[in-house]
Structure 1
């Protein structure tokens, strides 16, 4: 069982940012990644559709023998994780915006959150916000169009720069000192964001925390792969964006088309 893969899914290529953190922390683990780019971004879908797609992706990974599932998608986590945990008999790790650390560390008592509509409107997001940031000014912004540009390989385009300027200006005007990235696609925009934001603004994403939680869950369930050989990694995408995904992964990693 321990040699079976870690399964990950996201509404596209963005979850590869989570995969990289898991890979760095657990290099001997085998992994299987599903990029549902055909339905990206989940943040614009109805909750019913998000749940349907999340069940479908999880079922595929479970059928492939994955010993643990990582939902490398904020929107799928905040809308579907409870249903997935009730339906599947494997550990399921989710991801949600890192509001807690930003709320605890802010000096200006103002933080920005850039996320999808599906994440910002979810009950889990509001519960977390009320729990940790009730006394803090939160500037929320739906990153409309950002996921599509990343999926198209246009991370450094003029259109992307203009959108990021538009979305971050109200945050800067509100004197934020932390920007929380609430979508797994967005860490790929950090180089651009650093150029646009004042130096006092720190950027937080959840990738490393998810990787650590995945490792701890594997250890507590005696599922760690103890073979001292570098793990095998499979990447599937259901559109023709294989090249975009491969470029994000680096090292000439092979990405295969899969109709799912």
Structure 2
């Protein structure tokens, strides 16, 4: 498939839903020639409320099937929950470079003046011990307040389908951070779920005071560019493919948003 002519192997992004588009977008901006496949485990969505054992078993099995079908040169697990739980299992199972998603605590610590950082994620992500390790390594002098929200994942999916935003719902999510002891001092919020940067404007509008939002997308894009720096790409990029583990009527309203990200072909796994 490669070795003669242009290397047409895609970069494959994987998430439980459409959150990984916040990682695909900065990668596409850096690597406009890259063929892209975006895989959403819509049948398993949402991951934030599933058991760790389920995710650890499900994600490597799905990525094995995706790797067989699309022969990617690199896989990005564009989902914090799946990365924290399944990354070692996937790396053990597949002989392809795998890039995971890490909460952007390091860049947040570089930006925070008040030294109080909020971490918004799924409940599965915010309780992970590796969040403690990142905090100890990069933000030892900061107060880290966490809030896990399954509602915000659904709000982001709804926003991408074109639903009108309900600022009161966003405000309620942010209250989970700001209402904690010391929460009023938060000046930087880490969007530690790839869905959340998709609704950053709504979160900013609902925030009781101005805060800076950071996420891992730009860092992941730079990592993908670095790992593929010696690769060749097709002269004209192929149409991007979005593949869903369950393709049904609920996927239809996502077509315009997917097309904006260059994903014009829809397939079922």
Common fold, TM-score beyond 0.5? yes
Structure 1 SS opposite 2:12: strand
1:15 to 15, 20, 26: 20
Deviation at 1:198, TM superposition (A): 5.4
1:42 partnered with 2:47: yes
Q: How far apart in 2 are the matches of 1:231 and 1:212? A: 21
1:223 to 231, 235, 247: 231
Q: Deviations over 1:100-146 (max 9, x none)?
A: 11113211010001001111122322221222223211110011212
Deviation at 1:239, TM superposition (A): 4.0
1:232 to 232, 239, 243: 239
In structure 2, relative to structure 1, the CA distance for the partners of 1:98 and 1:244 (3 Å cut) is: farther
TM-score, length of structure 1 as denominator length:
0.89
Where do 1:71-86 residues align within 5 Å?
71-86=77-92
Q: How far apart in 2 are the matches of 1:254 and 1:87? A: 30
Structure 2 SS opposite 1:242: helix
Show structure 2 runs of 5+ residues with no match: none
Show structure 1 runs of 5+ residues with no match: none
Q: Which residue of 1 aligns with 2:156?
A: 150
1:166 partnered with 2:175: yes
The answer to whether the 8 A contact 1:27-1:231 is kept is no
Structure 2 SS opposite 1:111: strand
The answer to whether the 8 A contact 1:10-1:36 is kept is yes
In structure 2, relative to structure 1, the CA distance for the partners of 1:150 and 1:106 (3 Å cut) is: closer
1:214 partnered with 2:224: yes
The answer to whether the 8 A contact 1:21-1:207 is kept is yes
Q: Which residue of 2 aligns with 1:66?
A: 72
Deviation at 1:57, TM superposition (A): 2.5
Where do 1:105-254 residues align within 5 Å?
105-152=111-158, 153=161, 154=163, 156-157=165-166, 160-170=169-179, 173-197=183-207, 200-219=210-229, 222-225=230-233, 227-237=234-244, 238-240=246-248, 241-251=250-260, 253-254=263-264
The answer to whether the 8 A contact 1:40-1:148 is kept is no
1:55 partnered with 2:60: yes
Q: How far apart in 1 are the matches of 2:135 and 2:196? A: 20
Q: How far apart in 2 are the matches of 1:70 and 1:215? A: 12
Q: Which residue of 2 aligns with 1:102?
A: 108
The answer to whether the 8 A contact 1:100-1:132 is kept is yes
Deviation at 1:189, TM superposition (A): 1.2
Aligned length: 256
> Over aligned residue pairs, what C-alpha RMSD do you find?
2.2
Q: How far apart in 2 are the matches of 1:157 and 1:56? A: 37
Deviation at 1:160, TM superposition (A): 3.2
TM-score, length of structure 2 as denominator length:
0.87
